[in-house]
Amino acid sequence: MPLSEHEQRLLEQIERALVDDDPKFASSVRTGDRRNKARRKLQLGALLVLVGLAVLVGGAVAESVPLGVLGFLVAFAGAALGVLHYRGATGAVEVSDGPAGPRGSTAAGRGGRGGRKQPMKSRLEERFRRRYDQ
């Protein structure tokens, strides 16, 4: 959803204030894209998985248990690196229904409240509109 003119002006004012207050931090934030770093780590993880599998197969062919274990550990480390940075690299958002975890699509089917809860994004947008309308 695009920003309104008022929101764009506010964002520009915040950016100018940030540059005035701390130009060094503002330039580091402006140039650094978190997704690029996460994508690089995701690619490194995929490469480690491939190298680890190759070493694992090489250890099996050479009948070397330590080499096989090393290959497994490298592949596991690559998979862990990829899993940890997947959300940051792709911008994927996990869906949860709060601290208790997902319990179903409606509370009415479980004996809870009869109505559905409004999505968090809608509530925040409504709260934002109310704040600036006042």
Question: pLDDT per residue over 35-80, tens digit each?
Answer: 777 788 888 999 999 999 999 999 999 999 999 999 999 999 999 9
Report the percentage of the chain scoring pLDDT > 90: 27
Query: What average pLDDT score do residues 85-91 get?
Result: 73
| Burial classification of residue 42, based on how many CB atoms lie within 10 Å of its CB (0-12 exposed, 13-18 middle, 19 or more buried) | buried
pTM summary value: 0.47
Whole-number Å distance between alpha carbons of 113 and 46: 45
Report which residue type is found at 125.
E
Asked whether residue 105 carries a pLDDT value surpassing 50, the answer given is no
**Are residues 95 and 72 in contact, defined by beta-carbon separation less than 8 angstroms?**
no
Residues 6+ apart with CB under 8 A from 102: 95, 96
Tell me what pLDDT residue 107 has.
44
